[in-house]
Every structure is written in structure tokens, then in C-alpha cells.
Amino acid sequence: MPILDLTWIALIVASILASWLSPVAYRPWAIATVTLLYLGLSEPPSVLFIAAMTALTIVSGSRSSQKGLGAAATIVLVMGTLAVFKLAGSEPGGLAIPLGMSYYTFRCVHYLLERVKQKLPPHTTSEFVAYMFFLPTFIAGPIHRFPEFHRDFRRTRFNAELLSAGLERILYGYAKILILANFLLSQHLKPAIDRLATDSPWAGAYLGMLAGGFTGYLLFAGYSDVAIGAARLMGFRVIENFNNPFISRNIIEFWQRWHISLTSWVRDYLYTTVFSLTRKPYVAALAAMLVIGLWHEVSARYVIWGLVHGVAILLCQWYQRRRGQGPDGSPARSGIVGRFAAWFVTFHFVMLSIVMVQYDTAGALRIYATLLGVSR
């Protein structure tokens, strides 16, 4: 994980210093330079490739206010390039995807689409480059938006509360990763569950499923905390990525709380587009979840995972229309038992679906069979 790498930590410190100590005119270039230095040290081929894509975005974006043809062509190119890398990387020994490209691509598409719609604030090329090469969020998000980045860039003032909140958030993030996910769950709880599985396969499979789900969440949420905290130390407020997703009472609420920057991007730029073209919400929902699955990995298991969640969202929407919906997302007029049942079903659906992508097909089927009591 990059955030545990001393090089990344040292260059985050350098980014913070560059953000506060650089002259205003050179500040965006200083921020971008530190990120380019990290890429050069970690994965040199990524530097030229992503720099070239950034230059292309600048050129096409400068003409987007006319007909948007250049922006459209660039969007097709960057999305197609991402798809090629994803496909090539899905094979053993395949082409490695450039560092941070999945997040970089979605930021690029966001910028170009908003440029075509003329909704971006007036800005300089250097500010756009700083946005694209912002080290805290470059590798694994969150997928922040340019208007918010630009707002903070222009109004950055020393704020002791923001700095304190940033340090606190970084500590929370590292605690989730190092103490809860790595030390507690992976090093101590998982071996105990493995031993339990020899005597009670069902309990071992069930607790292993929960441990795997929480470990994945803590690692990802911890990284987001560190990224958000580092951004605050630089004077930037980055979008939250998680909001207690495992307390959700339906699958729609879950996706409003899980990987928020990705789901909001897909909602704004894919779901609304497909819905406006088809006027069929079920087509838009399935397309959105399919893209979310493929964004993670181009493979059959992620296609199935995305479609399963898409179908679950459609069923949830149908049920809410049929029964009505309370203010917390539970069925209208449901009591404490109904709310608990809604949470219980949602929680276990999510955990069961995580098994699908955490293990290979044989491993996932083995766990499902054990939980159903049909394994040998």
C-alpha cells in the first residue's frame, strides 16, 4: 500500500511544504512537481504517459466551449485507453496499468464535461495541472471535483483548525489500516477463525466472510482518511468517501455511503446520461453498476458483482414504491423489528457480495456452499 511507503510519506510532507511555502505564482507547479517526482521514483513509465494525457486534455479543453468535439474525442481516448490497460492487466503477466490511472481518468472526464457545459470557474492551466497531479488523492482517490479544488486553491489561508483536523484524520486513517485491519483482523483474528474452521466449518466461513469484508473496508476507508487529512494539511477540503456504510438499511443507502466520490461521479455523468437517453431507470441503474464493477477490474466476477448490485437496487426501488419509504430509508410505518430486519438483510447481502470479489471463483463457491451447508 503506497501510504505505508516512506517515499510517499516523505513526498506528502514535501507537498505540504510546497503548498504553504511556494510563491503564489509557482504554487501549482510546485504541487504538481512533487507528484511527478513520486511517479518518477515509483513507476517512471507513468510519468510520460500521464503527462501526455494531461497535455491532450489541456489542448482539447481549450476548444471545448465551441462544439465540444475535441473534448468528446479526448474522453473517448482516455476511457478507451483505461479499458485497454484494464483488459491487458487482467491477464497473468499482462500490461501494468499506470499508477493512479483509474482515478486520473475519471477526474479528466469530469473536467472536460464540465468545461463543455461551461460550468468551470475561470482558471489557469497551472491550476488544472495541480488538480490533476494532486498527490494526496492521485493514487486511490477520493475523486474530487475541480470547482471545489479551485475554490480552496484561491482562498487558501492558514487555518489552525483545518491543520488540526488534518492531523487527526491522518491518525484515524493509519489506526484503521495498521491497528484494526492489519494487526487485529489480519494477524490475530484471521488465524483464530482459520483454526475455528477446522472444528466448525460454517462458523469459520461466516466469521471469515465478516472479517474479510471489514478488512477491505478498513483498508480503503483508512487510505481515504489519510488522503483527506493530507489534503487538509495543504489547505484543501476533499470530498468524503465513506459514511458508515455498514449501518445502511437498504442497498440504495449503502451506495450513498460507500465510495461516495465514485458513486456520485457515476450518478452525475453516467446514470443521468443513460436515463436521459432511454427514459428507463432500470437500464440506467444496471449500466451504472456495471461500469462501477468494470472500473474496479475487467473480469467476469466484477461484471457479475456489478449486475447483482444493480438488480438489488432495482428490487429496492420497486419495494419502496410498493410499500412507501420512511425518512431513514426503511419501509414506511416499520417499527424497530422492521428497521433491524432491513439492516440485517442489507448487511449480509453486502458481505456475501464482497466474497464474490475477494476470492477466485472456486474459493467464493466454496464459501457459499459452506454457508448453505452443502459442502463436504
Give the Cα separation of 51 and 129 in Å (integer).
Answer: 9
Give the Cα separation of 223 and 262 in Å (integer).
Answer: 15
For the record, the C-alpha cell of 250 comes out as 437498504
CA angle 65, 67, 69 (to 5 degrees): 110
Q: Is the pLDDT reported for residue 331 higher than 60? A: no
Q: Is the pLDDT reported for residue 326 higher than 60? A: no
Phi-psi domain of 254 (left: phi exceeds 0; alpha: psi -120 through 50; beta: other): alpha
Q: How far apart are the first and last CA of the chain?
A: 37
Give the closest residue to 338 by CA, choosing from 349, 350, 324, 351. 324
Give the Cα separation of 129 and 44 in Å (integer).
Answer: 18
The secondary structure of 42-89 as a DSSP string is: H-HHHHHHHHHHHHHHHHHHTTTTTT-HHHHHHHHHHHHHHHHHHHHH
Segment 314-339 shows an average pLDDT of 74
pLDDT at residue number 90: 61
Give the Cα separation of 134 and 138 in Å (integer).
Answer: 6
pLDDT at residue number 80: 87
Burial class (CB in 10 A: 0-12, 13-18, 19+), 338: middle
pTM for this model (two decimals): 0.91
Look at 61 and 310; give whichever has higher pLDDT: 310
The rounded radius of gyration (Å) of the Cα atoms in the chain is 22
pLDDT at residue number 28: 94
| Nearby residues of 210 by Cβ (< 8 Å), 6 or more positions away | 351
CB 32 within 8 A of CB 55: no
Q: Is the pLDDT reported for residue 55 higher than 70? A: yes
For the record, the C-alpha cell of 206 comes out as 461466516
Residue whose C-alpha cell is 495541480: 130
Digit-coded pLDDT (tens) for 209-251 = 999 999 999 999 999 999 999 999 999 999 999 999 999 999 9
Give the distance from CA 177 to its chain's centroid.
16
Give the Cα separation of 12 and 251 in Å (integer).
Answer: 36
Digit-coded pLDDT (tens) for 138-181 = 988 899 999 999 999 988 677 788 889 999 999 999 999 999 99
Q: Is the pLDDT reported for residue 116 higher than 90? A: no
Q: Is the pLDDT reported for residue 93 higher than 80? A: no
Query: If you average pLDDT over every residue of the chain, what do you get?
Result: 89
Helices (H) and strands (E) in the chain, counts: 18, 0
